[in-house]
Structure 1
Amino acid sequence: MSRTVVVGVDESSESLAAAEWAAEEAKARDLPLRLVHAWNWSPHPASDVPLGATSAGAAQHARARAALDRAETRVRGACPAVPLTADALEGPASTALLRAAEQAEVLVLGSRGLGAISGVVVGSVAQSVAAAAPVPVVLVRAGTPTAHPHGPAPEDKPRADVVLGLDLSDPCDEVVDFAFAEAALKGARLHVVSTWRSPSLYTLGPGELALAARPQRQEEWHGFQDAVLQTWRGKFPGVEVTATVVEGRAVTPILAATEGACLVVVGRRAPGRHRSGHHNGLVTHAVMHHARCPVAIVPHS
């Protein structure tokens, strides 16, 4: 099966925003778009069965088709030339979405916004799928300013950044490559944000204390970040890169950089020989809930 951009849709406004974002992504990648809606049969009172439906199962399937039809209408209006399929999948939502992701380049889901102060509600389905999907998962909420995420921006409006939260203690090729590729697709500047932390003073000897406190450490981390990015600067010469390295915890500067951005990219470690289960790390979890733009969670080894 050919690769696609897959978007999960339901009856929410967030999923409509996700569908439109996914359509723009499919257009930029020159890929078809697949809308999927998962429904799980459960008995309903007779009063909940729409007029004309022969059973509760038929009613649920009708709701699934209605959700897909609404999303398809939204997509056709935004990107009429994008090849499109729509499928109602029976079964638990997480299972169905993960199965659909196996043939996807990117999986896009909606998340519910509560505003800049309160953050974002990321539902249990989105959290579990983002933690287990074999491909990057992008979370989009209704009303999120995307600032011309694909294609040329109007001359009177600046191009929004793609933000990359880069962990210098464990820089991962998959995450960096995805961020550069997205910036290239969107014609956006890439803002790379990294942090470093001094070791605990209680663990250092007298000679090490002077080394830990020296002002050159900031420049050394800048140099290391630049070395990490060198390969991708050559691979994506058209992408303008701005880099930030600050001392402290990673969450605060990454979230600050998402103000006005069109996408933030963070990593999620996939299960391996020494790691079991599917988890989003603490930084990724915080960015998922509090970023002011769509969030891409990229699995890496």
Structure 2
Amino acid sequence: MTNNGRSTAEAEARRHTGDLRRPTRFGDAINRYIGAAGYHDPYAVAPVRTVSPDVATAVEGSPGAGVIVVGVDDDPISCIAVDHAAIEAELHGWALRIVNVQRPGKEEAGERLLSRLAGRVRASAPSTPVTSRVVAGLDRAQLLLAEATSAGLLVVGHRHSATAAAFGRSVADRVGRQHTGPVLVVRMPGWPVGPQWGRRSIVVAVDDSVPARVAVEFAFAEARVRGCDVTLLHIAGDGTKFDHRLDMPSAVPVHHKIMSGDPVRALIEASEEAAAMVIARHGHGVVPGPLLTVASHVLPHRAHCPVFLVG
């Protein structure tokens, strides 16, 4: 990107910048959910429950867009995945289905787990329809994919530890690669979060590829639901023209940042201040290699916030 292009981007950022101090529907939902789920909240302030009159759909037109499926097991990350799935379901006005895959003969343990997690959701969002299902089998990723065939969003947790992650990583990775719809990979090193987290923006990487445009469209749709801003990370030197990249809806405040150096590292650093990242699963980026393809493999393992994989 030329110096003139950078100046244009900076000017656009100033014109579109939103007020990060304002409350958001996403932040209200998080604060209420944290309180209802039994977390200690040192910033306890009774949030005002609001319902958007124009609840948007981030996957408009897709079959089953009214259902979110979240895969769980007995690992603590599953509780966090359910938290995020429930918040998404409430904001979108969708139903939530909690799925646990158990070895044959262990279904009773799965039922106990699902009862506890479903109760966790009902305590914070009683208006959100919640169902649960135990599926018996050995290939957890494949069975979870089958359960989510018609879902509008599939949510999975991602373990952090090196010891447990071999199995957990393979499930998250396989689901992220193979599911035909959007996938939310929840990797939260710190949860519950502070009061400012709900005001953070959704961050999405931008290049001139078609998959990147799909990711940007998804990010704007999700931001409309949450009531938050979008931060576009532009790839320095990609040769694209800023004003021809995409059509930005005026209803969503937009911030623009130019990435330099290692773009994947820049994305990881940006995730430290993001409410969520949106990454296209396939695309033709710039060095190192196809950026979006590299990012879609790396970020679910190393991001500091949940990651949407789309496209």
Report whether the alignment pairs 1:9 with 2:72.
yes
Q: Deviations over 1:23-81 (max 9, x none)?
A: 1101111111001111232xxxxxxxxxxxxxxx1xx1111112211211221222221
Paired letter, 2:221: A
Tell me if structure 1 keeps the 8 A contact 2:235–2:260. yes
Report whether the alignment pairs 1:176 with 2:216.
yes
Give, in whole Å, the separation in 2 of the partners of 1:188 and 1:67: 33
Where structure 1 has 5 or more consecutive residues not aligned to the other structure, the ranges are: 42-56, 149-153, 199-219, 271-279
Tell me if structure 1 keeps the 8 A contact 2:203–2:231. yes
Match of 1:73 among 105, 115, 119: 119
1:87 equivalent in structure 2? 133
Give, in whole Å, the separation in 2 of the partners of 1:158 and 1:84: 23
Give, in whole Å, the separation in 2 of the partners of 1:17 and 1:177: 26
Give, in whole Å, the separation in 2 of the partners of 1:62 and 1:172: 43
Where structure 2 has 5 or more consecutive residues not aligned to the other structure, the ranges are: 1-62, 284-291
Deviation (angstroms), 1:189? 1.1
Deviation (angstroms), 1:114? 5.1
1:264 equivalent in structure 2? 277
Give, in whole Å, the separation in 2 of the partners of 1:284 and 1:36: 24
Give, in whole Å, the separation in 2 of the partners of 1:228 and 1:197: 14
Give, in whole Å, the separation in 1 of the partners of 2:169 and 2:236: 31
Q: Report 1:241-256 matches (<5 A).
A: 241-256=254-269
Calculate the TM-score normalised by the size of structure 1.
0.71
Q: Deviations over 1:177-223 (max 9, x none)?
A: 1111111111111111121447xxxxxxxxxxxxxxxxxxxxx64xx
Q: How many residues align?
A: 236
1:161 equivalent in structure 2? 201
Give, in whole Å, the separation in 1 of the partners of 2:274 and 2:176: 21
Tell me if structure 1 keeps the 8 A contact 2:97–2:131. yes
Q: What fraction of aligned residue pairs are identical, expressed as a percent?
A: 31
Deviation (angstroms), 1:172? 3.4
1:104 equivalent in structure 2? 151
2:185 equivalent in structure 1? 139
Tell me if structure 1 keeps the 8 A contact 2:205–2:212. no
2:93 equivalent in structure 1? 30
Deviation (angstroms), 1:146? 7.5
Paired letter, 1:77: A
Match of 1:21 among 81, 84, 98: 84
Tell me if structure 1 keeps the 8 A contact 2:80–2:157. yes
Q: Highest CA radius of gyration, 1 or 2? A: 1
Q: Report 1:212-231 matches (<5 A).
A: 221=240, 224-229=241-246, 231=247
> Equivalent residue of 2:199, what SS?
coil
Paired letter, 1:19: V
Give, in whole Å, the separation in 2 of the partners of 1:72 and 1:167: 40
Match of 2:297 among 277, 285, 295: 285
Paired letter, 1:248: G
Paired letter, 1:227: H
Q: Deviations over 1:245-266 (max 9, x none)?
A: 2333321221111113110010
Give, in whole Å, the separation in 1 of the partners of 2:264 and 2:197: 28
Paired letter, 2:244: A
Q: Deviations over 1:108-138 (max 9, x none)?
A: 01112359xxxx8861111101100011111
Deviation (angstroms), 1:169? 4.5
> Equivalent residue of 1:269, what SS?
coil
Paired letter, 2:293: G
Tell me if structure 2 keeps the 8 A contact 1:183–1:239. yes
> Equivalent residue of 1:289, what SS?
helix
1:123 equivalent in structure 2? 169
1:54 equivalent in structure 2? none
Paired letter, 2:175: V
Paired letter, 1:281: T
Paired letter, 2:153: V
Give, in whole Å, the separation in 2 of the partners of 1:254 and 1:11: 30
Deviation (angstroms), 1:170? 4.8
RMSD (Å), alpha carbons: 2.6
Paired letter, 2:218: F
Give, in whole Å, the separation in 2 of the partners of 1:262 and 1:158: 7
